[in-house]
């Protein structure tokens, strides 16, 4: 995703000299190509996230379009008040780009995991939140972010994310994508969680369970229609995300279901159960240790379809 983001930034910077890449001393090497092509549209702001975000707002007020990039948790948690007051309250045209969301920086531990970023930023007025699932989608949301005149947060996994889309698709801001059709249950996911969910849904299909998979590349505004349709047509919704189960995508989906009078459907949240990600190891190891690998997703989906509640999910 990171490379796709940088490629899109390269194109944007070439088109518009107001596009700026701000970084907080993170990702310097991967920016080399961009930096040599557009040295005047690149600033390493130092290890100073608060200053990066406030200064970005100042730059935006003079017509610049800064993309402020660093590891998601440093950006979102350290500079939260700057994001709230200087960017959102002032409706500034600032793009915030958080890298390493979920626990893709598995071995670095919870200080480097972005496992509450959706919940934390979803509550801010004027904010658009993009959560792409693969490199192609990263490109789409980056170009879309530049076209929006206002605050945008793009949450990215790291490099080497596998492709979800085989070819280009109809990308519309705020419109979730049905990756697999199905009528037995709907699995909803976003960002780095989509890949594992897709594997699970494919294996479920081989076992005769038709699970619909819906990818929310836009968290805010949330696609209410896709949620309502999934609830009406499948009656069961399982939300899978590398987030604390409190306030993330599942929270957004639950809010819509209740408001639309669909609180009676079967609904489960799969994520971190009011905890930080446990353990060290590879990304896959952490998916296993935190109950978010495909076998856990399959188990949860099957039990919902069979109408039995598995241990630990109630």
**What is the Cα–Cα distance from 243 to 276, expressed in whole angstroms?**
9
Closest approach, Cβ 89 to other proteins, in A, equals 6
User: In this structure, are residues 206 and 154 in contact, taking their beta carbons and an 8 Å threshold?
Assistant: no
SS3 239: strand
Tokens 């699932």, located at residue: 133
Nearer Cβ to other proteins, position 73 or 287? 73
Both tokens of 93, joined, read 């045209």
Nearer Cβ to other proteins, position 55 or 252? 55
Closest approach, Cβ 68 to other proteins, in A, equals 11
Nearer Cβ to other proteins, position 57 or 76? 57
Task: Give me the phi and psi of 311, to 5 degrees please.
Answer: -60, 135
**What is the Cα–Cα distance from 150 to 172, expressed in whole angstroms?**
17
**What is the Cα–Cα distance from 222 to 213, expressed in whole angstroms?**
16
Closest approach, Cβ 74 to other proteins, in A, equals 13
Nearer Cβ to other proteins, position 60 or 214? 60
Nearer Cβ to other proteins, position 86 or 137? 86
User: In this structure, are residues 192 and 104 in contact, taking their beta carbons and an 8 Å threshold?
Assistant: yes
SS3 224: helix
Pairing of strands 95-99, 152-156: parallel
Nearer Cβ to other proteins, position 62 or 206? 62
**What is the Cα–Cα distance from 105 to 119, expressed in whole angstroms?**
19
Closest approach, Cβ 87 to other proteins, in A, equals 10
Closest approach, Cβ 128 to other proteins, in A, equals 19
**What is the Cα–Cα distance from 249 to 233, expressed in whole angstroms?**
20
Q: Quote the DSSP letter at residue 102.
A: B
Closest approach, Cβ 56 to other proteins, in A, equals 6
**What is the Cα–Cα distance from 65 to 12, expressed in whole angstroms?**
10
Nearer Cβ to other proteins, position 55 or 240? 55
Task: Give me the phi and psi of 283, to 5 degrees please.
Answer: -55, -45
Q: How many other C-beta atoms can be found within 10 angstroms of the C-beta atom of residue 16?
A: 13
Nearer Cβ to other proteins, position 79 or 252? 79
Closest approach, Cβ 27 to other proteins, in A, equals 19
Closest approach, Cβ 57 to other proteins, in A, equals 6
Give the footprint of other proteins on this chain (CB under 8 A): 40, 43, 45-46, 48, 50-51, 54-64, 81-82, 85-86, 89-91
């Amino acid at each position: 995703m990171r490379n796709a983001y940088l490629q899109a930034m390269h194109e944007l910077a070439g088109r518009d000299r107001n596009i700026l890449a701000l970084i907080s001393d993170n990702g310097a090497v991967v920016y080399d190509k961009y930096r040599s092509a557009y040295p005047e549209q690149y600033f390493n702001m130092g290890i100073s996230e608060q200053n990066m975000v406030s200064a970005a707002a100042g730059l935006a007020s003079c017509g610049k379009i800064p993309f402020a990039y660093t590891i998601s948790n440093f950006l979102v948690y350290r500079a939260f008040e700057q994001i709230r007051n200087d960017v959102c309250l002032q409706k500034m045209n600032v793009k915030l780009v958080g890298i390493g969301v979920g626990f893709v920086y598995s071995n670095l531990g919870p200080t480097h995991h972005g496992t509450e970023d959706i919940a934390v930023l979803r509550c801010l007025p004027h904010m658009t939140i993009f959560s792409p699932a693969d490199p192609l989608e990263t490109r789409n949301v980056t170009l879309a972010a530049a076209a929006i005149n206002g605050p945008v947060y793009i949450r990215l996994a790291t490099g080497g994310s596998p492709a979800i889309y085989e070819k280009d698709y109809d990308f519309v801001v705020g419109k979730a994508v049905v990756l697999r059709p199905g009528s037995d249950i709907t699995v909803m996911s976003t960002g780095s969680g989509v890949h594992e969910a897709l594997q699970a849904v494919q294996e479920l299909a081989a076992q005769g369970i038709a699970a619909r998979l819906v990818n929310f590349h836009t968290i805010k505004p949330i696609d209410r229609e896709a949620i309502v349709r999934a609830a009406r047509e499948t009656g069961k919704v399982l939300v899978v995300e590398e987030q604390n189960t409190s306030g993330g995508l599942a929270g957004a989906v639950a809010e819509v279901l209740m408001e639309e009078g669909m609180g009676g459907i079967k609904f489960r949240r799969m994520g971190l159960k009011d905890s930080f990600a446990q353990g060290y190891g590879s990304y896959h190891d952490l998916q296993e240790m935190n109950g978010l690998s495909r076998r856990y997703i399959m188990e949860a989906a099957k039990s919902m379809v069979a109408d039995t509640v598995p241990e630990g999910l109630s």
